[in-house]
């Protein structure tokens, strides 16, 4: 037996599997089932998505978000097409070129943004900047909901983006690695935020929602899903024991855990933000709208926080990032706030003594 180390908030991928997903996984493990997705669990998971989204969408299950995004984007255009995204988008900064690779070279066109949100104006500018044969033809827009820094597009913002997409002949993809957190924030239905607002394809993250592994791809325009199963297989994303990717979805979707897990993560982010936002020298870099808190603080303070055993990343914008998953312990959040408060005080004492 290893003893549990104190909980960290460096990533929402540090969390384990939530009870609802695990119970479904255990249930799926009782006996055998047909392979490659022709099983009852996979049917039931796809149906659960169709019920939740109130839509007759096509549903696919893959292992991770990089594959989900890359294959979905590849299915929306040809290799000579381009994909408009925010400069801070995961597809641009954290997928090792997979969207370009799986689309055989479709170029990502990046727009500068604030908080990672694309705007209709930014999309229009990029999409209409060139129309000659020498430039990759814009065909797709991808938005991240919530963004990499935890900002949530309102339904109105998504609608105005989809309307410029329709006008310019662009498909709209949503990277929903933390889609449930955005639903929790807006209090809207999943359908309202997607097909109701003009989204063509959604990648719905399971990993950051309390599953061990797995993301779902939902095509609201079913024609776009043609041959997508072949694309998944070719990319090495067709699970032979598919039931272990699909069953956990029945657990989280049918029980409502998908939303409760996200609400809990969001609440813990607010808990930390409320405790530390007023500390001298500490600043929230972005409004807290989902399960992320980005803190700007002097290097001495962050060093002291690390010395107290806390792990966090500073790769986005130089601030300290804290992410809260379904299992975040409010007592640990309080400890983090206390340690940050003490780190600020210690750094001040040292500065005064010098």
List of residues contacting ligand PLP (CB under 6 A): 64-66, 69, 90, 144, 148, 175, 177, 207-208
* DSSP notation for 321-338: EEE--TT--HHHHHHHHH
Do residues 182 and 148 lie in contact, with contact meaning Cβ atoms separated by under 8 Å? Answer: no
Nearest by Cα to 58 from 204, 212, 169: 204
135 cis-preceded (ω within 30 degrees of 0): no
| Pair 227, 218: CB distance under 8 Å | no
Minimum Å gap between C-beta 274 and ligand PLP is 24
Q: At 148, is the secondary structure helix, strand, or coil?
A: coil
Q: Report the relative pairing of strands 171-176 and 201-205 from DSSP bridges.
A: parallel
Cβ-based nearer residue to ligand PLP, 77 or 214: 214
Shortest CB 270 distance to ligand PLP, Å:
19
Instruction: Point out the residue whose Cβ comes nearest to ligand PLP.
Output: 65
Question: 265 in helix, strand or coil?
Answer: helix
Closer to ligand PLP by Cβ: residue 212 or 284:
212
Q: Minimum Å distance from CB 217 to ligand PLP?
A: 12
Angular region, 131: left φ>0, alpha ψ -120 to 50, beta rest: alpha
Q: Which is nearer to ligand PLP, 177 or 301 (CB)?
A: 177
Measured from the CB of residue 151, what is the shortest distance to ligand PLP in angstroms? 12
Selection from 209, 230, 223 nearest residue 171 by Cα: 223
Shortest separation between residue 348's beta carbon and ligand PLP, angstroms = 35
Rg (CA), the chain: 21
Nearest-approach distance from CB 132 to ligand PLP, in angstroms: 32
Pick 66 or 162: Cβ nearer ligand PLP: 66
The residue among 69 and 194 lying less far from ligand PLP, judged by its C-beta, is 69
Q: State which residue, 288 or 340, has the beta carbon closest to ligand PLP.
A: 288
């Amino acid at each position: 037996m290893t003893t549990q180390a104190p909980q960290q908030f460096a990533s929402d991928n540090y969390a384990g599997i939530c009870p609802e997903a695990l119970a479904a996984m255990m249930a799926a493990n009782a006996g055998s089932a047909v392979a490659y997705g022709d099983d009852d669990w996979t049917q039931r998971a796809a149906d659960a998505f169709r019920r939740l989204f109130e839509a007759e969408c096509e549903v696919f299950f893959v292992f991770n978000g990089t594959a989900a995004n890359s294959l979905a984007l590849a299915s929306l255009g040809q290799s000579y097409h381009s994909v408009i995204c925010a400069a801070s988008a995961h597809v641009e900064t954290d997928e090792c070129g997979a969207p370009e690779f799986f689309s055989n070279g479709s170029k990502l066109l990046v727009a500068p943004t604030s908080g990672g949100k694309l705007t209709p104006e930014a999309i229009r500018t990029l999409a209409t900047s060139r129309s000659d044969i020498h430039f990759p033809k814009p065909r797709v827009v991808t938005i991240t909901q919530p963004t990499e820094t935890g900002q949530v597009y309102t339904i109105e913002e998504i609608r105005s983006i989809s309307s410029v997409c329709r006008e310019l002949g662009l498909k709209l993809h949503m990277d929903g690695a933390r889609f449930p957190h955005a639903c929790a924030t807006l209090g809207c239905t999943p359908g309202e935020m997607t097909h109701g607002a003009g989204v063509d394809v959604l990648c719905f993250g399971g990993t950051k929602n309390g599953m061990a592994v797995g993301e779902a791809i939902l095509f609201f325009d079913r024609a776009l899903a043609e041959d997508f199963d072949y694309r998944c297989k070719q990319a090495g994303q067709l699970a032979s024991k598919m039931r272990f990717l699909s069953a956990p979805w029945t657990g989280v979707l049918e029980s409502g855990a998908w939303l409760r897990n996200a609400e809990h993560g969001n609440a813990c982010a607010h808990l930390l933000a409320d405790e530390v936002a007023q500390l001298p020298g500490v600043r929230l870099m972005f409004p807290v709208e989902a399960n992320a808190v980005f803190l700007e603080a002097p290097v001495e303070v962050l060093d002291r926080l690390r010395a107290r055993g806390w792990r966090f990343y500073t790769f986005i914008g130089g601030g300290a990032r804290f992410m809260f998953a379904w299992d975040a312990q409010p007592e640990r959040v309080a400890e983090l706030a206390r340690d940050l408060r003490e780190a600020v005080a210690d750094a001040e004492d040292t500065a005064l003594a010098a």
